[in-house]
Structure 1
Amino acid sequence: MIHWLRNLLCGVLIGAGAILPGVSGGVLAVVFDIYRPFMEVLTHPAAALPKYWRWLPPLGIGWCIGFLGLARGISASMDWSDAVTTWLFIGLIVGTIPSLFREAGKEGRSGGAWVSLVLCAAAVFFGLFYVQHVLKISVEPNFWWYNFCGVLWGMGIVIPGMTSSSVMMALGLYQPMMDGLARMDFVVLSACLPGLAITVVLLARGVTWLFRRHYAVAFHGILGAVAASTLAIIPTEYTGGGEAALSALLCLGGFALAYALDRLDQRIRT
């Protein structure tokens, strides 16, 4: 039961992380040790399902709660205080970095792995900066653009470190997507969910091959992407000292939650 609840909570966090700007659901799946089993199920279902079928129900339920059920809450909380909500998720990400660092070093840390870390960090940071502050393009939301959002979310699940929501914010699509998910709009759901599922299936084999052949390089690249995407979303504007203090408190709370999940996971494995 504890393991089931742990996987449910991880699914909620991964689903919520997928729709928060600057946060990658794939990265959260990696640090919660769900990514590799998930990719095995996608690429070799006949062999993987007998091993991991107990994981799927709580993860699937949790992901739906986080992605669909919390869309309204996340949208409302960001309207109330974008800084406080973002700092909560920054705390969650920072709390997972130690476990991500351990995971990245399981097969050693070569010179190429450190180069991958630096290059991926620089590419993600400057890419997000360019999209957010240089490319200020807004588009008219419609069925095809919502499908494009689903493709971006699918890439964020399969490619850890891919911060799809930040791209949507730069294009002016993020708020319409959140509003549509919050009210369960049929046009939004029928466009983004199929695009998400198709992207996940099509990219799964290629990403799995990369991890199998170049594990340390790929994982250190993820670590750099996590650090860079976290730096890129740090809020710089606050309405007052109260908001700044609440942001710090929730950041510590997010860190404590992620740390407790990591300790619980280690205890369950033992």
Structure 2
Amino acid sequence: MTMNPLRNRRFTVAAAAAVVLSFTGAGFASAVPADHGDDEIVVGIKFDQPGIGLKTPDGKYTGFDVDVATYVAKQLGHDPSDIVWKEAKSADRETLLQRGDVDFIAASYSINDKRLQKVDFAGPYLLAHQDVLIRADDDSITKPSDLNNKKLCSVTGSTSAQNVKSKIAPNAQLQEYGGYSECLTGLENGVIDAITTDDSILAGYAAQPEFKGKFKLGGFKLSNENYGIGVQKGSELKEKINKALEKMVADGSWDAAVEKNFGPAGYQNEPAPKIGVIVQ
């Protein structure tokens, strides 16, 4: 197994702390993070997005980002058993990377200029688009403007919902819930008419067995979301991960992961993006 560069740095810090402790006899070492071991790699993912990144009740991890991260980790010299999965909520991702709490993050992490000021990105490895999810038997929403006067759901504070309100369908009746699962319940029960966020996230939900045949994607492509793998600023992992992603596409593993996680929802995914090419 190859020694991870971040793991090397943590080991050096821990070793230095041990030297200090041997001279002082104080409890200084308790303030130093414990090293996770030479073979382990810590990867940030979402824990609550079916089809993307999900921690199941039995403690397993599933989703497209999980499959991508597992493939990348293997190319970096780590078996699946070496991976320590860490939850990377949207608001915490930059902090996790900057503190060195994770080696990389694959968590529906869109590349944008604001984030690039704080972290680096490998990829992109998926081009997603903002879209809507509607009931399978609903023929009243066939284009974005049809969302006017419809009850539109997204999570509280979502930029996706605000984008529809400000640019696409200003007369949409915005309903903000605490999570997408609540939106799905409302959509299923007819309380709301559509859900909006990235099409990959929507496809992940729609692909779950309990929702088979109940929902469909609008296919509106309301924005471009270039998913990248986040790493620390200046990390040498960026180029190594890029090579791993190129291999994943070349050997067919990328297509297989897309079909496995999104296929049941009829997700019309974009071809694998070119490394370093950001679609505006």
Same-fold call, TM cutoff 0.5: no
More strand by share: 2
Task: Specify which structure has the bigger relative contact order, considering alpha-carbon pairs within 8 angstroms and separated by 6 or more residues.
Answer: 1
Q: TM-score range by the shorter chain?
A: under 0.3
Instruction: State the structure with more CA Rg.
Output: 2
TM-score (norm 1): 0.27
TM-score (norm 2): 0.27
More helix by share: 1
